[in-house]
Amino acid sequence: MEYRKEHDSMGEVRVPADRFWGAQTQRSHENFEIGVGIETMPREIITAFGYLKKAAAQANHQLRPDKMTDKKLDVISAACDQVISGALMEHFPLVVWQTGSGTQSNMNANEVIAHVANRLATFKLCHPNDDINMSQSSNDTFPTAMHISAVMILEDRVLPAVEALAREFRILEIQNEGVVKSGRTHLQDAVPIRFSQEISGWRSSLERDAELIRASLEPLRELALGGTAVGTGLNAPEGFDFLVAERISLLTGKSFVTAKNKFHALTSKDELVFAHGALKALAADLMKIANDIRWLASGPRLGLGEIRIPANEPGSSIMPGKVNPTQCEQVTMVAVQVMGNDTAISMAASQGNFELNVFMPVMAYNFLQSARLLAESMVSFTRNCVTGIVADREKMHHNLHHSLMLVTALNPHIGYENAAKTAHLAYEEDISLKEACVKLGFLTEEEFDKVFHPEEMA
């Protein structure tokens, strides 16, 4: 392999000749050989750096035109566009497990953008620190990248996936409007419910989760950029924070504002904790919904068997013909991962010391993984399971009319205690509620038929 020599304040470093990064990125690449190739900095963070570096160059050009010249702005903007497009992703090799402020990833962005900008200029025009990092610090750029990436993935991927799944449940509701089945509480038979009502509970949970995610977006729109090292804005021109937030909004098509208090923005990560809490709520509801569906589909002969779900692949390497609820299982595993990520994010956010939180990369990694997994899981679940759910109406009718909890309809006519006696006798002697009620002398057959209408109980 061929190398070129790069230098930083600590001296010279050999960098692979075909890579665009510089000395500080190479040092990090060599010093943190942890999860290499697997747990690299999320591409959403790299994309966010492309946006914020371009926005910073535009703001600096307006506020410090003597430093950020027209030529520099042109080549830096073009280089940032390549970062945003993903064309330079191979030049961002750093792992999550680096300095807790994300300094190396900020410098990775600075070095790559400077290298590409200089290639476009055909001479060494831009310096990673003096030009690409102008008016910035790793301490305010990394939390800014976190917020940009969080807003973008929530708006562009998570919310559309939630809404698509909720719409599919709405269709399923309409298809099953008149179907009455046995309700269940404590995994035991309960009073009747319409299947459409049961589905509406799933749909409504998802709609509420979407509301919570939207509410969590507003605090994330505040950006730390302009606070520089400790929140004072040292080395940033007056008005830079407002202008750069405005530029980021224009570039991303999302709404962002400068943080009201930069000292809070650098050290506290409560906005990310709050937003991930909304993702955890979504994960909890998806766990419940997926479990309901696989319970209802259990069988096909020895379980509840009240619905049929698509048979996507063979379920066993030893039992021929077995089909498993694999889509439900992927949803529940994703939910568990998100809940674990929430613990990591909560612990990391509690570790802000003085003017900086130094657990930011792991927070970004876990947050974006949760959002990405949830979005992809819901898309798969909608397409490969929910769209193919079919109610087994005969099985629902059979289970409904064999439920002992229908005895609840008799409470107004024979009283709670006599109704309980009726249910116990029916269970013990394996006879119908009608037979038990008549045998105990509480009602005649005619009286029973007059008051007992299970479908009307829903």
Residue pLDDT, tens place only, 143-159? 999 999 999 999 999 99
Asked if 284 contacts 292 with a C-beta cutoff of 8 angstroms, the reply is no
- What is the residue-averaged pLDDT of the chain? 96
Question: Would you tell me the crossing angle of helices 270-296 and 195-220 to the nearest 10 degrees?
Answer: 170
pLDDT tens digits for 421-441? 999 999 999 999 999 999 999
Structure-token pair, residue 371: 């959002």
Bridge partner list, 16: 3
Tokens, residue 32? 């943190």
- Burial of residue 248 (CB within 10 Å: 0-12, 13-18, 19+) is buried
| pLDDT (0 to 100) of residue 173 | 98
Pull the structure tokens for residue 251. 């570039």
Q: How confident is the model at residue 298 (pLDDT cuts 50, 70, 90)?
A: very high
Residue 206 has pLDDT above 90, yes or no: yes
Phi first, then psi, for residue 189 (nearest 5°) are -60, 140
228-241 CB burial, b ≥16 within 10 A, e <16: bbbbebeebbeebb
What pLDDT band is residue 318 in, cutting at 50, 70 and 90? confident
- Catalytic residue list: 186, 316
Q: How far apart are the first and last CA of the chain?
A: 74
CB 331 within 8 Å of CB 285: no
Mean pLDDT, range 105-122, rounded to an integer: 98
State the Cα–Cα distance between residues 369 and 360, nearest whole angstrom. 14
* Residue 315 reports pLDDT greater than 90: no
> Which residue, among 89, 125, 123, has the nearest Cα to 109 in the 3D structure?
89
Dump pLDDT digits (tens) for 56-111. Answer: 999 999 999 999 999 999 999 999 999 999 999 999 999 999 999 999 999 999 99
**Within 13 Å and on the Cβ side, how many CA atoms surround 251?**
25
Q: Which domains does the chain have, with CATH numbers?
A: 18-134 (1.10.275.10), 142-221+261-393 (1.20.200.10), 403-457 (1.10.40.30)
